[in-house]
Amino acid sequence: DAEITQSPRHKITETGRQVTLACHQTWNHNNMFWYRQDLGHGLRLIHYSYGVQDTNKGEVSDGYSVSRSNTEDLPLTLESAASSQTSVYFCASSGDGYEQYFGPGTRLTVT
Amino acid sequence: RKEVEQDPGPFNVPEGATVAFNCTYSNSASQSFFWYRQDCRKEPKLLMSVYSSGNEDGRFTAQLNRASQYISLLIRDSKLSDSATYLCVVITDKLIFGTGTRLQVFP
């Protein structure tokens, strides 16, 4: 069965470190998205991609970067982790329609 | 004003009750609407699309009121398993999630 996975599921890191969160989908979807979810804010879009070599900034992109070298993966990098980036991060993908399929999430704590 | 607004709840209802949530949106050019369900500490999953004429899926009914710019979700005969957070999604030139309405169904 097709799926979307994220790793790690939980991560604790220190302020200033670079962190990369992995997202891998086997739906063969062109569109991939990264969100963060915080209490009171709901899901906020960080970056998204509509295909290989395509990346776009979302609503809260400062301090984050992505790259898309193949269809299946969209890793999210925090260049220099800050405590404000403590959050739950969800990756999602979609095909031709609007329905998004979400990964199980990564809980990141920056100390 | 937020682009998409939901009452955070919680809505506490007994099993068997009917409950309804609304979601208001500010952009009259919004094109498509959805309801997602999110269980505690889990990922959101699509519950149903919202069509202009309204649509039903079992115990769930979704409606769109373009004049007043809101969508609604009605759940009939609530089950314990319906306890979750319900997120509305509005699409204009981008996809916007509401912050969610929490439903707790008790025995």
Chain segment B63-81, per-residue pLDDT in tens: 999 999 999 999 999 999 9
Instruction: Say if residues A78 and A63 touch (Cβ distance below 8 Å).
Output: yes
**pLDDT score at A42:** 84
CB contact under 8 A, A90 and B32: no
Mean pLDDT in residue range B29-53: 93
Summary mean pLDDT of chain B: 94
Q: Is A80 exposed, middle or buried (0-12, 13-18, 19+ CB in 10 A)?
A: exposed
Between positions 50 and 89 of A, the ones with CB within 8 A of B are none
Q: Say how many Å lie between the first and final Cα of chain A, rounded.
A: 37
**pLDDT score at A2:** 85
Percent helix, strand, coil in chain A (nearest 5)?
5, 55, 45
Query: Predicted confidence band at B2 (pLDDT cuts at 50, 70, 90)?
Result: confident
For chain A, which residues score pLDDT lower than 50?
none
**pLDDT score at A41:** 82
Residues of A in contact with B41 (CB under 8 A): 105
Residue A9 at interface with chain B, using a CB cutoff of 8 Å: no
**pLDDT score at A87:** 97
CB contact under 8 A, A45 and B91: no
CB contact under 8 A, A102 and B43: yes
Mean pLDDT in residue range B72-91: 97
Q: Is the pLDDT of residue B95 over 80?
A: yes
Q: How far is B25 from chain A (nearest CA, A)?
A: 15
**pLDDT score at B1:** 72
Residues of B in contact with A35 (CB under 8 A): 97
